[in-house]
Amino acid sequence: MAELRHQRQNGSHRKLALVHGLRIDNRAQYIYCTLMHQRLDGRDLQRPVSEWMRLPQDDDDLAAAARDYYGADALPVAGSQAAIQWLPRVRTRSRVGVLTPSYAEHAQAWRRAGHELRALSAAQCEAAIDTLDVLVLANPNNPGGERFERDRLLDWHRRLASRGGWLVVDEAFADAHAELSVADHAHAAGLVVLRSLGKFFGLAGARVGFVLAARELREALAEGLGPWTIAGPSRQLAAWALRDRAWQRAQQQRLQVASDRLRRLLHAQGLSPDGGCALFQRCIVDDAEPIEQAFARRGILLRRFDAPSSLRFGLPASEAQWQRLQAALLARPAGLALPVLENGMSPS
């Protein structure tokens, strides 16, 4: 009773009553309804519950929501990872340039499917383009944050497509950098754009991504991946996320503020980022391992890369996490140089 009184006072009573009213009888349903209600307050909760109990249908709102958001027809997939793994199987043996370093799953998938691979830095792509059948890159890139201008990508696409080739652009991190996206051209043969709900939208666990490409290729991928690849509740959640323009605008602003703050914090503590995007910053360091380990001992996970030796910092999710990150930086783990002041001196 005391709990109920407390819930009435703080306004959470109606929320709980609604969830109980659905006779939630397992943990998964409870979590899903709670999630739905927190993020999408006021919507009908009966539908999400039934979504758990039937096979997912593709005549829901997801394809239309994706078309409105991306400006192109999109094949929903179980995370862009699913498409990354299947795409190389849709082509006969090809000469494939892969931006390196980048999200390593691309190179692995093309190699595993028997293609001839060539690792390319961002600066090497232009000279290599006419010798390739396929070029795979991420824009902005992960972890280095390299960016490719739209006009340059469209030129590369034209040159590849004129010989039956493909340009594959992984835009997993492009939601906060819309000016870079070539999604609106993805109906053209030979241009494949991969998108993810796991980054900007923060829904990595829902496993939803999209392939934007000409209809023939989308159909070939759909055939290879098979039916019911995305769970019904994930489809529903994804459609709502893609339609929630107010949340997207707020997220753009949050990310801008947070990424500026991260860049300034790292800079002030002697780790000047050499690249990054709205969601992370990468810092080149002489010896990344001891720094990574010192942060891990404090419960902060950084991504370490060996070539070049570097660390990738993601955005803290709360003020408490910002304070923990700052404290870890101030503790000066071995290998972390002191910042150089404008007068050329290091602070004591």
Ligand X SMILES: Cc1ncc(COP(=O)(O)O)c(C=O)c1O
Asked if 145 interacts with ligand X (CB under 6 A), we say: no
Pick between residue 29 and residue 142 the one whose CB is nearest to ligand X.
142
Asked if 138 interacts with ligand X (CB under 6 A), we say: yes
Looking at the chain, list the stretches that DSSP marks H as alpha helix, in order from N- to C-terminal side.
Answer: 2-10, 13-21, 27-39, 46-51, 62-70, 80-86, 105-112, 125-128, 150-161, 215-225, 232-243, 245-268, 288-297, 319-330
Residues in binding contact with ligand X, number by CB under 6 A = 12
Q: How far is the CB of 211 from ligand X (least distance, A)?
A: 11
Q: How far is the CB of 219 from ligand X (least distance, A)?
A: 21
Residues near 236 by beta carbon (within 8 Å), at least 6 away in sequence = 47, 48, 51, 60, 62
Please tell me the distance from the alpha carbon of residue 233 to that of residue 271, in angstroms, as a whole number: 41
Options 81, 85, 229, 236; binder of ligand X; rule CB under 6 A: 81
Q: How far is the CB of 340 from ligand X (least distance, A)?
A: 32
Asked if 79 interacts with ligand X (CB under 6 A), we say: yes
Burial pattern 149-167, b for ≥16 Cβ within 10 A else e, equals eeeebeebbebbbeeebbb
Asked if 100 interacts with ligand X (CB under 6 A), we say: no
Pick between residue 172 and residue 283 the one whose CB is nearest to ligand X.
172
Asked if 103 interacts with ligand X (CB under 6 A), we say: yes
Asked if 137 interacts with ligand X (CB under 6 A), we say: no
Asked if 181 interacts with ligand X (CB under 6 A), we say: no
* Residue 74 β-bridge partners: 212
Pick between residue 142 and residue 310 the one whose CB is nearest to ligand X.
142
Per-residue x/- track, 190-229, ligand X (CB under 6 A): ------x-x-----x----x--------------------
> Biggest alpha carbon distance in the chain?
74
Burial pattern 278-301, b for ≥16 Cβ within 10 A else e, equals bbbbbbbbeebeebbebbeeeebe
What residues make contact with ligand X under the rule CB under 6 A? 79-81, 103, 138, 142, 170, 172, 196, 198, 204, 209
